[in-house]
Every structure is written in C-alpha cells, then in structure tokens.
A and B are shown apart, each in its own frame.
Chain A
C-alpha cells in the first residue's frame, strides 16, 4: 500500500495543488470525509467548504467551491470551480465580494444571473469562514 496519496486540486483557471500528501479531509455531500492512502475507490460530489491537507506533519487549509472528487487507493482528484489556500485569502476582498453578491441578490435577476451570484456568494462565505477559523 502506498504511504502517500497523490492529491490534485484543479479549477478551470489553474492547477491549485498537486503533490504527495498523507491525508486529505474534505466535505462531500454526505458529510466530512477523511481520506488516507488505501481508501476504497469512491466518486462523490464536493460541497463548498474546507479542505485540509496533511503533508509531512503540516496542515494546509484550502477553501473550495462545489465540484467532484474522485478517490482511488493512491490518488485523490478534486475538480472544483474555486480553490484558494487559506493563506492567500484576502479577508476584506472576500467580505466585499459577499456584500456585492448580497446586494445583487436583492435585485431582480434572471435564472442564469442568480446562479452566478449564488455561486459567488457561496465562494465568498466559504473563504471568510476558512480564513476566520485559521486566523492566529
């Protein structure tokens, strides 16, 4: 059994994370999942939230949006529409984005627009949530 997992976190804009890790914790549709090497192959949906990556004794936190996760014994592939490392989150920017999204929600929107705005709101809230939890 492999001692590490190959984790890849990819968004349509970029490859956010790629490397060998010891453990990944993420929130799926059925709740939090901790994934260690040798996991059963699973395909599931990812919900917006926090991803914790344990790499050589250190924890790395990321805020992610909705997406898909594919897990095999040696690999974890995460496809999501947003992923940002906790250290890179700009709290003021996220808060502003949240306010903008909320303001737009109060206006009359088409289905398409409201889907976009909702996604933006979820992204901003998740970012804020993750950032505040890990602020020292």
Chain B
C-alpha cells in the first residue's frame, strides 16, 4: 500500500502537469481567436473571386486553359495539410486515417506541416515535396505550394490534384476533408476550399457578355492561378484555425482530467492519514491498558 508520502508526491506531479496543460490551453485559445478571424476576413474576397470566376465561366465555353485540362487519372497528387506540432487531440490521426485510405502506388504526396511529412515518411509513401508554414500563414507560403503542384500538373507528372486538410467546422468539430484542386473542371467550383455558400449569380448577369481586356486568355491566364493560390491560402488559414481549436479542446480535457485525478488522490491521501492517526491512537490506548 502506498504511503502518504508517495501519494503527496503524485499529487504534486499531477498538479505540475495540470499547470502546463492549462497554460497551453490559454495560449491555444488566444491563437485560435486570431486564426479564426484570419480565416474569416478572407471571405468577402473569396466570395467576390468566386463570383467573378462564375461569371467568367459563362463566357468561357469552349475556352481551354492548360489548368482546366482533364485527363484520365493514372497518377494523382494529394496535398496533405497537417500541423507542425502534436498535442492537438485526434486532429492529425483523423487526417492520416483518411490519407491511408488513398492508394499507395498511384498517389504522390505533397505535405505542408511537419507532422504530415513525418506521416508520409513513416508509412513509406511517395513524397514529392514538403512545405512548411508559419503560425500566421502568409500568401507567399501558399503560393509556393500551389505553384509547385501546378507545375506537376502542367508537366503531366500527375493528372489530378486534391487537397486533404482538417476543415474547420466549429471550435469543437474539425473533420478531414478531401477537396479537388486541379484540374479546374468547373470554374465555378474553383474556390470550393472556402466554405462560402454557393454563389447565386446576380439576376441578369447571364445576359451580360463580358469584354476581356486585353483578351480572355491573358486575363484568365492570370485569374486561374491566382484563384488557386488564394484557395491554398484559405486552406492553410483554415487548417491553422482547426489546429488551434483542437489543441485548446484537447488541453482543456487534459486539465479537467488532471483536476479529477488530484481530487481523487487528495481523498485517498486524507483517508490514509486518518487511518494512520486512528492506528496510532489505538496503539497508545492499548499500551496504556497493558501498563495499567
């Protein structure tokens, strides 16, 4: 049976753990608010971009851009967006479970975040490139990833590109989701990574025929890659929001568990202490009786 000293030691160590998880929870909560608002401010831009693309699509029947070329899919690339650090609950494991369902031989992985790269390495899957992104992902980081996969696609090394990332649903829920990235089959779906409601075209817009200046190839040639870069950026932002939320919840659970353990241990400690006192009293009285 554990002595009172052992129990005291355990209480102390659990208390330390609780303190750390509590601190991590606070940090994650602060970062989460920032990440969530960063993911949200991009919405008007995404919506407008969506609108422009959708309207452009009406004009572009018959227009073919290399990024829109759909081929039979023999090889495909998946951009796996994970986190850099662990301790964020089941976020990464859920994501990787989805990733393991993909065919090992026909899928090339492009990863963002250290945990994602570790997963691909550990399970001996094909890794084309790994990227990193900061706590506040900036546009250049997203552009680098997006450009890389666009190159892969244009060179014909892969025939389709999907993105697998933890979609932010709310603070308590994040679910891994696979969204198509390339080819841009339907222009209107180009900003699908941003969970904005499907855009209704303003009435009458279908009768508007747009002039392109200088011409549609130039404008769309710029617009398509830009919208892909932007979509990638939104996905990085959303992943960050998911990560921080998941970490906050995980750390809150850990803190709560630690508090429960402390409570149980304190109870046990007090019981043992009382038992010891009673035992000592008994010993004294028995001794007196024996003498008297």
- Report whether A12 and B139 are in contact in the complex, using a CB–CB cutoff of 8 Å: yes
In chain B between 90 and 146, which residues have their CB closer than 8 angstroms to a CB of chain A? 139-140, 143-144
- In the complex, the answer to whether A77 meets B52 with C-beta atoms within 8 Å is yes
B44 contacts the other chain (Cβ, under 8 Å)?
Answer: yes
Contacts A43-B212, A70-B55, A112-B144 given; does A10 touch B222 at CB 8 Å:
no
Contact of A72 with B205 in the complex, beta carbons under 8 Å: yes
Question: What string of 1s and 0s marks CB contacts (under 8 Å) between A65-101 and chain B?
Answer: 0001010110101010100000000000000000000
B168 at the interface (CB under 8 A from A): no
Instruction: Give chain B nearest CB distance to A119 CB in angstroms.
Output: 9
- CB pair A30 B213 closer than 8 Å: yes
Contacts of A77 in B (CB 8 A): 48, 51-52
A57 CB, nearest partner CB in chain B, Å: 28
Residues of B within 8 A of A59 (CB): none
CB of A8 within 8 Å of the partner chain:
yes
Q: Are B211 and A41 in contact (CB under 8 A)?
A: yes
The answer to whether B49 and A28 touch across the interface, beta carbons within 8 angstroms, is: no
Query: How far, in whole Å, are A28 and B56 apart by their CA atoms in the complex?
Result: 18
Per the bound structure, the CA–CA distance linking A15 and B45 in Å amounts to 7
Q: Is B218 an interface residue (CB 8 A)?
A: yes
Interface residues of B: mostly helix, strand, loop or mixed?
A: helix
Q: Which of B212, B213, B223, B230 lies in contact with A12, CB distance below 8 A?
A: B230
Q: Mark B40-80, 1 if CB is under 8 A from A, else 0.
A: 01101100110110011000000000000000000000000
CA distance A11 to B139 in the complex (A): 12
Q: Are A11 and B45 in contact, CB atoms less than 8 angstroms apart? A: yes
* Separation of A68 and B230 alpha carbons in the complex (Å): 13
Which residues of chain A are near B45, meaning CB under 8 Å? 10-12, 15, 79
Q: At the interface, yes or no: A4 with Cβ under 8 Å from chain B? A: no
Interface residue tally on B, bucketed by range = 20 to 34
In the bound complex, residues from chain A placing their C-beta under 8 Å from that of B49 are 79
Which residues from A are CB-within-8-Å of B51? 70, 77
Taking the closest CB of chain A, its distance from the CB of B254, in whole angstroms, is 34
- Which of under 10, 10 to 19, 20 to 34, or 35 or more describes the interface residues of A? 20 to 34
User: 1/0 contact trace for A12-28 toward B, CB 8 Å?
Assistant: 11110000000000001
Interface flag for A29 (CB, 8 Å): yes
Taking a contact as CB atoms under 8 Å apart, the answer to whether B222 and A79 are in contact is: no
Cβ contact within 8 Å between A12 and B233: yes
Select the residue from A11, A12, A73, A115 with max chain B CB neighbours within 10 A.
Answer: A12
* Residues in chain B near residue A10, CB distance under 8 A: 44-45, 48
Cβ–Cβ < 8 Å partners of B42 in chain A: 12-13
Query: Given A43-B55, A45-B219, 16 other A-B contacts at CB below 8 A?
Result: A8-B48, A10-B44, A10-B48, A12-B45, A28-B213, A29-B214, A43-B52, A43-B213, A43-B219, A44-B213, A68-B52, A68-B223, A70-B52, A112-B140, A113-B140, A116-B140
Task: Provide a sorted-by-A list of 23 A–B residue pairs whose CB atoms are within 8 angstroms.
Answer: A8-B48, A10-B44, A12-B41, A12-B45, A12-B233, A14-B44, A15-B45, A28-B213, A29-B214, A41-B210, A41-B211, A42-B213, A43-B211, A43-B212, A44-B212, A44-B213, A45-B213, A68-B226, A72-B205, A77-B48, A79-B49, A79-B52, A81-B139
Give A contacts to B, CB under 8 Å.
8, 10-15, 28-30, 40-45, 68, 70, 72-73, 75, 77, 79, 81, 112-113, 115-116
Sorted from nearest, which 6 A-B pairs have the closest CB atoms?
A: A44-B213, A41-B208, A116-B140, A15-B44, A41-B210, A43-B210
